[in-house]
Amino acid sequence: MTELVQWLDDGSPHSARFNDRYRSRTGGLAQALTVFVNACGLPPRWRVRHEFTVLETGFGLGLNFLATWAAWEADAQRCERLNFVSVEAYPVAAGDIVRNVLAPGVPGDAEAQLQARLPALAQELARAWLGLRLGVQQFEFAEGRVRLTLAVGDVQPMLNLIDCAADAVYLDGFSPALNPDMWSFATLQAMANHCRAGTTLASYTVALGVRESLQQLGFSVRKRAGLPPKRHRLEAVL
């Protein structure tokens, strides 16, 4: 069940299946924080909640989860419980999850503390990963205050299967041109079924088809300055 990750000469992970990179050349943590965590209004939005739920399409190497966990852990005003729900059709090996956070990078001052925590968090995730199976499963960390629900299987059926009410959504996955099923209207509709008024959404892609589908589903969509080398990224709210 393990998906092969190709590690390129520059240290970045690549998918042979989709002929695409797992993360930005700028750096994985910078992408996770800028494009997803901060773009969804975090950490401030979880500070006023007892419990907060993030829904993600495309777990990949787990970096968005690890970055969100690290940001939650570092926030003295964090919510009591963080729920992270994600779908992944092609799970990678535990060793690749750990290797990914050890890849060379030059974090800014604001990222340095989080970057330092990622290897330890990745090791915890890797230990839980050994019990991975098809279907929906849950893993608990931080004495039960961080719960990862991972649905292993094709994205649309898994989104229809899981039970959650998302406060924030990370729309991730490989490029819409290379992985169209991940970005189809039916998939986005299955995602939107887990959202409610005020749910924030973020993505690295501003593809016209994705923006139009989100607008049809009731999201207010905006293009924002992207993380180089990308010119734009997407923020939305239901």
Which token pair is 176? Answer: 């819409």
Total structural domains in the chain?
A: 1
Integer Cα distance of 92 and 201 in angstroms: 25
**Exposed e or buried b for every residue in 37-73, given b needs 16+ CB within 10 A?**
bebbbbbeebeeeeebbbbbbbbbbbbbbbbbbbbbb
- Which CA distances in Å does 215 have to 52, 65, 83, 188, 203? 24, 26, 26, 11, 14
**The predicted structure's pLDDT at residue 49:** 95
Using alpha carbons, select from 230, 235, 215, 227 the residue that is nearest to residue 171: 235
Residue 120 lies in domain: 5-237
Model pLDDT for residues 81-139, shown as the tens digit of each residue: 999 999 999 999 999 999 999 865 545 556 888 999 999 999 999 999 988 999 999 99
- Looking at residue 110, its pLDDT comes to 61
Q: What is the CATH number of the domain that holds 209?
A: 3.40.50.150
Residue 122 tokens read as 């990745």
- Per-block average pLDDT, block size 10, for the chain (238 residues)? 88 91 81 95 96 97 97 97 97 95 62 90 95 93 98 96 97 92 97 98 96 98 90 96
Q: What is the pTM of this model?
A: 0.95
